[in-house]
Amino acid sequence: MSNNKEYLFKFLTALSVLGLLVGSWGVFQIMAYGKNATALGSYVTWGLWVAVYLFFLGLTAGAFLITILTYVFRVKIFAPVGPLSAFTVLVALTCEVIIISFDLGHMFRVYRFLLTPSFTSMITWMVVFTNAMLVIYVLECYFLLRGNFVLWSKEPNRPGQSIYRFLTFGKKDYSDADQESDHRRVHTISLLSLPVGLIFYGVNGAIFAILLNRPLWNGALTPLIFIVTALLSGGALITFLTYVFRIDDKLVHYLGHVIRFLLAVFLLLEGFQFFVGYMTGVVAEITSLNIIAFGPYWWVFWVFHVFLGSFIPLYLLVRHHASPGAVALACFLIVLTFIAVRLNMVIPDQAVYKLEGLEATFYHARLRTAEYFPNPTEWLVSVWVFSLGMLAFLLGSRWLPLIVAGKGEAAHV
């Protein structure tokens, strides 16, 4: 079994490195030519990268919820995956920042958000709370793992001992009092992360919901759907990782019930969105919904989202909820196909001309809407970011005491 895990680790690491190498061409293109290297235009201004950003946003939310339940509300059943969840939030947040920086076109101008902020802009608040979340989870991860850094720095045959010694910042002993002190710090940091995190996710939903000329986005359901979908995809990832690392099969079973509930709620909200949209009679909204369900990329919705990402997982979670393997497979399918949900969230509402006859006024590839499809540069940059995130997570799971720190964690929660 250990040999199989080692082979899998090496395979995924090699795949990540290959993805970084292949995707680096796309990164070069966007660095050299900005958004001119993409298929985006005057009307479809948010494309694949915003969908990928929302995908990573979802992954952070589920892991964020686990850390809150563990270190704020002291739910002991989640304690074994507490450190792993905190690290997952950190990796996914980093990937979010990178992919949305590429979407700026001139990513090196990001400092202007800090020097000349506009506090009436939701994007300014998104930048503020994204950075706040990064700082919070760097500190939380460090204090969760510091005790093991000290122990590992004193093991003479431990690979990477010099790195662990550096991460202790000169601390040579770790007493029970130190452990209690660090857990109090984690509790305090987690308390702070609760309002910061809720505002962070709410602001991301509000960026879409306040746009009046986007009827599919502009509604009270949008922030709620944002929160539920984020918890669903992120929770599914944590459940899958709990199974992969063999942390606790009972926890997998318990999380499976939570994921089943979230999936059912999401499908219900999505059904309401379609029902309300069609009943309003607003042409732009109906056209957007038709593009999702019956447009040229109907298979993204029906095959990847409805069938592979919803029907099969729901079936597994209902009929085989007692099997940790079946629950893990269901969660893997949810995570794997969730980019389809994000693409259908971002693109179709931009694919509708908001002024009748606008499409016939001028003709240019960058003035088309329904014809938008991510070009190779957009895909390569996305592959690069996904590969970077996977490599960071793989190396973290191998070289950081994420699993070890979770063992016995319940006694301190």
- Has residue 58 got a pLDDT over 80? yes
What is the average per-residue pLDDT within 166-181?
89
Amino acid at residue number 76: K
- Has residue 249 got a pLDDT over 90? no
CB 413 within 8 A of CB 180: no
Which tens digits make up the pLDDT trace of 202-211? 888 888 888 8
The Cβ-side half-sphere exposure at 122, using a 13 Å CA radius, reads 13
pLDDT of residue 353: 79
- Has residue 313 got a pLDDT over 90? yes
Which tens digits make up the pLDDT trace of 145-168? 999 999 998 888 888 888 899 999
Q: How far is CA 218 from the centre of its chain?
A: 22
What is the average per-residue pLDDT within 371-395?
94
Alpha helix stretches (DSSP H) within 210-282: 221-244, 249-280
- Dist. CA 292–CA 312, nearest whole Å: 20
The pLDDT mean for the chain works out to: 90
Percentage of residues of the chain with pLDDT beyond 90: 58
- Has residue 4 got a pLDDT over 90? no
Domain ranges of the chain: 2-412
The Cβ-side half-sphere exposure at 29, using a 13 Å CA radius, reads 20
Q: What share of residues in the chain are helix, strand, coil (percent, to 5)? A: 80, 0, 20
pLDDT band at residue 300 using 50, 70 and 90 as cut-offs = very high
Averaging pLDDT over each range in 19-23, 61-65, 219-223, 345-349, which range is the top one?
19-23
Nearest C-alpha neighbor of 167 from the set 399, 395, 390, 391: 399
CATH class (in words) of the domain with range 2-412: mainly alpha
What's the full length of the chain, in residues? 413
The Cβ-side half-sphere exposure at 52, using a 13 Å CA radius, reads 25
Q: How far is CA 214 from the centre of its chain?
A: 24
- Has residue 227 got a pLDDT over 50? yes
- Has residue 380 got a pLDDT over 70? yes
- Has residue 243 got a pLDDT over 50? yes
pLDDT band at residue 413 using 50, 70 and 90 as cut-offs = low
- Has residue 409 got a pLDDT over 80? no
Tokens of 213: 């000329």
What is the average per-residue pLDDT within 187-194?
95
What is the average per-residue pLDDT within 163-178?
89
At residue 329, what are phi and psi to the nearest 5 degrees?
-65, -45
pLDDT of residue 1: 46
The answer, as to whether pTM is greater than 0.75, is yes
pLDDT of residue 2: 62
What is the average per-residue pLDDT within 355-369?
74
